Amino acid sequence: MEKKRKIINDPVFGFINIPNDFIYKIIQHPFMQRLNRIRQLGLAAFVYPGAQHTRFHHSIGAMYLMDEALKTLKEKGHLISKEESDAALVAILLHDIGHGPFSHVLERTLVTNIHHETISLLLMKQMNVEWKGKLQTAIDVFTDAYSKSFLHQLVSGQLDVDRLDYLCRDSFFTGVVEGNTSSARIIKMLDVKNDKLVVESKGIYSIENFLMSRRLMYWQVYLHKTAVAAEKMMINTLRRARELSLKGEQLFASPALSYFLCKESTLSDFENNGEALHHFVNLDDNDIWTALKVWTSHPDTVLSVLSNGMVNRKLFKIEITENDVDEERVSHLVDLYMTKFGVSAHEASYFFSSDMMTTDMYREEDDSIGIIYKNSEVKDISKASDMLNIELLSKKIQKYYFAYLRD
C-alpha cells in the first residue's frame, strides 16, 4: 500500500512535498517546531504589519528551493546520492535553529559570547547523538567539511537557497515588491564547475536582479529606520532588565529568560548539552513579549518606560546622518531625561542609542558568483555584468544613526 504523501501549502511557493519520512521527522523535532514561535523579521512588523511569518516558514521554503536545486543539478549530470540529497535538505532545514527571539537583539544583550551559527551546530550535534549518527553528513555539509563543496554553497554562500527564500518570502509578507526575485529561474540556471556553483550565462540578468533586490530589501526592510529604532529600544530594555537582575532584582520572567538575565553565559555553558543550551531551546518570542507586558508596571522607571514603549509602539525617534551624533546634544538629552523622569545620568543613558550601520552587499573575495559561458569559461559576476550597479553593490555604505526617546 502506497504511503500518503505529506504536503505543506506554502503561500510563496505553493504546495511543497516533504520528500520522505526522514525529512518529516526532522521537521517534527522540537528544535524545528520552536522556530514556529520566532518571527523571521523580528521587529519589522512595527513597520510592515504583514511581516508575521516565522523562521519555520522560511526553513520550509529554503528546503523546497534546495530540493529544486538538487533536481536541477542531477538533471545536468551531476551525481548526487540520496544520502547527499537528504543531508543537504537537513542542513538547510536546521540552519536557523540556533536563532533566538529577535536574534540580533539577543546577541547584543543576553547571549553575547556565542554566535547563532555555533548554537545551530551544537543543536545539530545533539540531534545527531539522539539519532545515532544519521545527521553526520548533514553536519559535514553545514560546516563545509564534506567532499562536495557545492552542497555547502547551496546552504551558505552568495547565492544560497537561504537568501533566495528569504528575499522572496520577506518581499511577499512585507509587500515590498522591489525585493521579489525569480528564484525558480536562478535555480534552473545553476550548474557546477570544479566543485563550485556557477550560473549559466543566460541567467546573468536574473543574478543582477537578485543582487539589486537584496540591496533594496536591506534599506527598505532589514535596515528600515523604524525597525532599527525598535531594535535599539528592545536592546536597551533587555540591557536594563539584565542590569537589575544582576543586582538581585527578581523580575518576572520565564525560567529560560530568567536564566539569561541572571547569568553571563559562555560557550562552555552551551557545549556538551549544557544548561545554557537547555534553556536556549525553551526561549522564543513569547517569553520576551510576556515579560515586557508585565514590566510596563515595574517600579523601575527606566524598565517600565521602555517596556511600555515596546508594547504600545511608542518607539524611539531615529535620525540617520552622515556623521556621528554631537556630544553636546547627547548631554542636553541626558539633562532633559534626568529632569523629566527623576533618574541618574546612567539611567538616562538607556533612553537613547547611537551607532553606525554598515552594509556591503557583494564582496568578490567572500564567495564569488561565477558565470559560466558555453566555452566553459567562468567569470565573476562583477566582471561579467555590463551594469554599473555591481560596482555600487560592492561599495561599503556607512551611516550613523541616533535613536532617542521622544520628548
Are 217 and 231 in a shared domain? Answer: no
For residue 388, what pLDDT is reported? 45
Domain of 303 in residue numbering reads as 225-357
Are 124 and 75 in a shared domain? Answer: yes
Indicate which CATH number applies to the domain containing 132: 1.10.3210.10
Are 119 and 249 in a shared domain? Answer: no
Are 169 and 62 in a shared domain? Answer: yes
Q: What is the CA radius of gyration of the chain?
A: 23
Are 297 and 211 in a shared domain? Answer: no
- Domain total for the chain? 2
pTM (2 d.p.) = 0.93
Assess if residue 277 is contained within a domain.
Answer: yes
Q: Which residues contact 57 (CB under 8 A, 6 or more apart)?
A: 10, 40, 169
For residue 381, what pLDDT is reported? 85
Distance separating alpha carbons of residues 113 and 241, to the nearest angstrom: 18
Are 233 and 217 in a shared domain? Answer: no
For residue 390, what pLDDT is reported? 59
For residue 367, what pLDDT is reported? 64
Assess if residue 105 is contained within a domain.
Answer: yes
HSE-CB at 17 with a 13 A cutoff on CA atoms is 6
Assess if residue 2 is contained within a domain.
Answer: no
Are 248 and 183 in a shared domain? Answer: no
Helix axis angle for 285-295 and 301-311, nearest 10°, is 120
Assess if residue 313 is contained within a domain.
Answer: yes
Are 46 and 119 in a shared domain? Answer: yes
For residue 219, what pLDDT is reported? 85
Assess if residue 37 is contained within a domain.
Answer: yes
Assess if residue 401 is contained within a domain.
Answer: no
Are 24 and 154 in a shared domain? Answer: yes
What SS3 string covers the chain? CCCCCCEEEECCCEEEECCCHHHHHHHHCHHHHHHHHCECCHHHHHCCCCCCCEHHHHHHHHHHHHHHHHHHHHHCCCCCCHHHHHHHHHHHHCCCCCCCCCHHHHHCCCCCCCCHHHHHHHHHHHHHHHCCCCCHHHHHHHCCCCCCHHHHHHHCCCCCHHHHHHHHHHHHHHCCHHHCCCHHHHHHCEEEECCEEEEEHHHHHHHHHHHHHHHHHHHHHHCCHHHHHHHHHHHHHHHHHHHHHHCCCCCCCCHHHHHHHHCCCCHHHHCCCCHHHHHHCCCCHHHHHHHHHHHCCCCCHHHHHHHHHHHCCCCCEEEEECCCCCHHHHHHHHHHHHHHHCCCHHHHHHHEEEEEEEECCCCHHHHCCEEECCCCCEEEHHHHCCCCHHHHHHCCEEEEEEEECCC
pLDDT in tens, the chain (407 residues): 446 779 999 999 999 999 999 999 999 999 999 999 999 999 999 999 999 999 999 999 999 999 999 999 999 999 999 999 999 999 999 999 999 999 788 888 899 888 999 999 999 999 999 999 999 999 999 999 999 999 999 999 989 999 999 999 999 999 999 888 889 999 999 999 999 999 999 999 899 889 888 888 988 999 899 999 999 999 999 999 999 999 999 999 999 999 999 998 899 999 988 899 999 999 999 999 999 999 999 999 999 999 999 999 999 999 988 888 888 999 999 999 999 999 999 999 999 999 887 766 555 555 678 899 999 899 888 778 776 455 665 667 788 999 999 87
Are 347 and 387 in a shared domain? Answer: no
Assess if residue 205 is contained within a domain.
Answer: yes
Are 30 and 131 in a shared domain? Answer: yes
Contact 333, 352 (CB under 8 A): yes
Q: The cell 536582479 sits on which residue?
A: 209
Indicate which CATH number applies to the domain containing 308: 1.20.1250.30
Contact 284, 34 (CB under 8 A): yes
Are 232 and 197 in a shared domain? Answer: no
Assess if residue 407 is contained within a domain.
Answer: no
Contact 125, 139 (CB under 8 A): yes
